[in-house]
């Protein structure tokens, strides 16, 4: 039984492999990637099967690296009615690059994804939500490259990302692009992340569901959820030598993620980012 059948929400997937994540960058470098067997293609095909089985569409923010190494899954995303977006080329955080490097990173990813899929891209999500007050110029680059919206900010306190005092809801930025932040709950002036990822895997489903319902009761905004293909892959190789906190975040509850995801899919109405937010995206 669906909790909020009339409110459309956005289901999003950040399409990257387990060895791309920022949590493991201290022990796995891009030069190692060619010697590792990719799992992202099979895992993303599993997710498309799951979405199709439940009759929902989603947005897949995908690395250019994935388009290069798994073009079949990128083409399938679009062919089966899902939305394709850019997640950059090689999961380099925007905060670690110069403007020139960011431009090339996003341009190359857009070209590879559009060539593999045959579809024009509207949306972008920065790896690890890495747009903050130090690099707002990234929004100018996105406009220059023809993107209509971004979902690259998470207004929370976090050791890897976040600008707590940035807007919590969709808005048109001064650069001319719509920004759609990851959802948060506000309590006593502090924002709590409820958008998915590790939080969703860590907490029992009833707690995550209660938080989502509260968000919907407190706001008149759509909810958007994010996760990664590697989160349904409990059999992925374990990375050696990574910091304890990184391993905890990455591996906690992988074995129950798919079951929780199915519960979430069944409890709410889901579509792509564009369909969920098209009024504000098309109005700009």
Residue ranges per structural domain of the chain: 4-283
48 pLDDT above the threshold of 60: yes
* Residues 149-189: tens digit of each pLDDT: 999 998 876 556 557 778 899 999 999 999 999 999 888 87
Superfamily of domain 4-283: Glycoside hydrolase/deacetylase (3.20.20.370)
Count of Cβ atoms closer than 10 Å to residue 265 Cβ: 20
What pLDDT shows up at residue 127? 94
The pTM of this model reads: 0.94
What pLDDT shows up at residue 274? 98
* Residues 9-31: tens digit of each pLDDT: 999 999 999 999 988 988 999 99
What pLDDT shows up at residue 166? 83
* Mean pLDDT value of segment 215-219: 93
Q: Residues of the chain with pLDDT > 70: what percent?
A: 95
């Amino acid at each position: 039984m669906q909790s909020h059948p009339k409110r459309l929400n956005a289901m999003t997937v950040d399409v990257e492999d387990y060895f791309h994540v920022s949590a493991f960058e201290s022990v796995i470098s891009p030069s190692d990637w060619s010697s590792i067997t990719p799992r992202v293609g099979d895992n993303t095909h599993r997710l498309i099967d799951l979405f199709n089985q439940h009759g929902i569409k989603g947005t897949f923010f995908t690395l250019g690296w994935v388009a290069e190494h798994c073009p079949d899954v990128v083409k399938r995303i679009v062919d089966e009615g899902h939305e394709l977006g850019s997640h950059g080329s090689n999961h380099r955080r925007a905060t670690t690059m110069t403007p020139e490097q960011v431009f090339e990173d996003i341009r190359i990813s857009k070209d590879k994804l559009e060539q593999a899929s045959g579809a024009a891209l509207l949306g972008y999500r920065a790896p690890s939500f890495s747009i903050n007050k130090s690099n707002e110029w990234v929004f100018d680059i996105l406009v220059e490259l023809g993107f209509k919206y971004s979902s690259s900010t998470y207004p929370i306190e976090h050791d890897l990302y976040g600008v707590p005092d940035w807007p919590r809801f969709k808005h048109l930025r001064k650069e001319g692009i719509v920004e759609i932040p990851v959802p948060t709950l506000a309590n006593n002036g502090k924002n709590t992340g409820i958008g998915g990822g590790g939080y969703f895997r860590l907490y029992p489903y009833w707690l995550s569901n209660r938080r989502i319902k509260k968000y919907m009761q407190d706001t008149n905004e759509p909810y958007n959820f994010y996760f990664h293909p590697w989160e349904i892959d409990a059999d992925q190789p374990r990375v050696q030598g990574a910091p304890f906190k990184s391993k905890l975040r990455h591996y906690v509850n992988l074995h129950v993620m798919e079951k929780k995801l199915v519960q979430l899919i069944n409890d709410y109405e889901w579509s792509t980012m564009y369909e969920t937010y098209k009024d504000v995206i098309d109005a700009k």
